[in-house]
Structure 1
């Protein structure tokens, strides 16, 4: 198995729970809060970076860190109050990738709902229906998010490790086959 660096930012504990599940599933993993994460990640085969969403993108601490990540195979994981398949959740992965340093390859992503910060909920309770965070639909989503990450989310996060390990193994086999094919062609010439 690969050596993993699992790096996370968490305010309410949601992203930390997911980070711990990922680190537990990897045979060899070091886990870091984003503010304590190393800049030199060359000792790791896979770098998993987790964050909570703010304004449709990774939180400010993670955004600052992403630019320092270079030449790494990256897996993103995120927690948020939105539906996991919502445009808000999906486009935030693209925004994370856009902020990575040079030479990175994104292997995969994982997202799940998480409890919303109580201070933020209190502030949003008074948002009007014309506010994207106001109204009955938002309150229904907040209630749903309050029970996450749940056991199924954490199981899915652990399964992410298996999927990414398999993806890396298949890629290695494919590249080896391509190299052998190229070598045979060059030998014939």
Structure 2
């Protein structure tokens, strides 16, 4: 089985998760490429697509790529600054799944935290209290926690999930 692991990454979180999958999946004939380097998908039976969450769903580059996938086994993985078990995290995964589920077989999906871009945090600091993105002590704590992800355990777990479902 020929597998493509591809990703879009803004700050390196999704790239690290993709590399972790690649290094731990223990399957042969696996290719790892950023989305912008993928020239064709026809020769792959399975495609694992990673994205960073932007505005509650896949970032634009990943979304466009995902919309073009047809007739494949597809696995999704994503990173975000929010807690992955939050409603926002779950909704972000479901929005990604909605882009591929009609034309493909979705074999699994996974989301984990990743560090938030410091430039974005500085923008959030300028928002007035009451704005949903305004900085709070709880958010600052979450941003510190997010810096520890994706971690080795997450990379191994997602690789196992995809390996089990692709063989």
TM-score normalised over the length of structure 1: 0.80
Deviation at 1:122, TM superposition (A): 1.2
C-alpha displacement of 1:64: 1.3
| Counterpart contact for 2:107–2:162, Cα < 8 Å | no
Q: Which has the higher contact order (CA 8 A, sep 6+)?
A: 2
Q: State whether structure 2 residue 56 is matched by structure 1 residue 56.
A: yes
For the aligned residue pairs, the C-alpha RMSD in angstroms reads: 1.7
Q: CA deviation at 1:101?
A: 7.9
State the shift of 1:142 in Å.
0.8
> Are positions 1:43 and 2:43 aligned together?
yes
Aligned twin of 1:7? 6
Runs of 4+ in 1 over 6 A off after TM superposition: none
Task: Name the counterpart of 1:174.
Answer: none
Which of the pair has more CA radius of gyration?
A: 1
In 1: Cα distance, 2:107 partner to 2:116 partner: 27
Whether the 8 Å contact between 2:49 and 2:77 is mirrored in structure 1 is: yes
Q: Which runs of 5+ in 1 are unaligned?
A: 170-189
Q: Structure 2 vs 1, CA of residues 67 and 101 (structure 1 numbering), >3 Å: closer, same or farther?
A: farther
TM, length-normalised to structure 2: 0.89
1:3-152 to structure 2, matched below 5 A, reads 3-24=2-23, 25=25, 26-39=27-40, 41-100=41-100, 103-134=103-134, 135-152=136-153
Query: Distance between the aligned counterparts of 1:128 and 1:17, measured in 2?
Result: 33
The answer (yes or no) to whether the contact 2:93–2:111 under 8 Å persists in 1 is no
- Report which stretch shifted further, 84-93 or 95-104: 95-104
Structure 1 CA distance, aligned partners of 2:133 and 2:141?
A: 11
Residues 36 and 136 (structure 1 numbering): CA distance in 2 closer, same or farther, change over 3 Å?
A: same
